[in-house]
Amino acid sequence: MPLTRFPIVVALTGVLTSACSDATAPVPAVAVRATIDRTQFRVGDEVTFATEVRNEGNAAARVPGFPTVFLEVRDAENRVVFFGRSGTFAAVAYPPRILEPGEQLTDSPIWATRVIGPSASAAPAGEYRVRAAVLLLTENAFVRKALGSGYVFSEPIPIRIVAP
Residue 5 falls within a domain, yes or no?
no
pLDDT band, residue 42 (cuts 50/70/90): very high
In which domain, by residue range, is 117 found?
26-162
Q: Describe the strand order of the beta sheet including 50-55 as a list of residue ranges.
A: 30-35, 50-55, 104-107
Q: Between 61 and 139, whose confidence is greater?
A: 61
CATH number where 93 lies: 2.60.40.2360
Residue 4 falls within a domain, yes or no?
no
Q: What is the pLDDT of residue 145?
A: 58
Write down the mean pLDDT value for the chain. Answer: 77
Q: What is the pLDDT of residue 27?
A: 59
Q: Which of 8-17, 46-55, 113-122 shows the lowest mean pLDDT across its residues?
A: 8-17
Tens of pLDDT, residues 49-104? 999 999 999 988 889 887 789 999 999 999 998 888 876 555 556 788 999 999 99
Say if CB 29 and CB 55 are below 8 A apart. yes
Residue 95 falls within a domain, yes or no?
yes
Residue 56 falls within a domain, yes or no?
yes
The C-alpha atoms of residue 131 and residue 72 are separated, in whole angstroms, by 5
Tens of pLDDT, residues 101-118? 999 999 999 888 765 544
- The total number of structural domains in the chain stands at 1
Residue 17 falls within a domain, yes or no?
no
Residue 125 falls within a domain, yes or no?
yes
Q: What is the pLDDT of residue 127?
A: 96
Residue 21 falls within a domain, yes or no?
no
- With a pLDDT cut of 90, the percent of the chain lying above it is 40
Q: Between 8 and 135, whose confidence is greater?
A: 135
Residue 20 falls within a domain, yes or no?
no
Q: In sequence order, what DSSP letters do the residues of 101-139 get, joined into one string? A: TT-EEEE--EE-SEE-SSS-EEPPSEEEEEEEEEE-B--
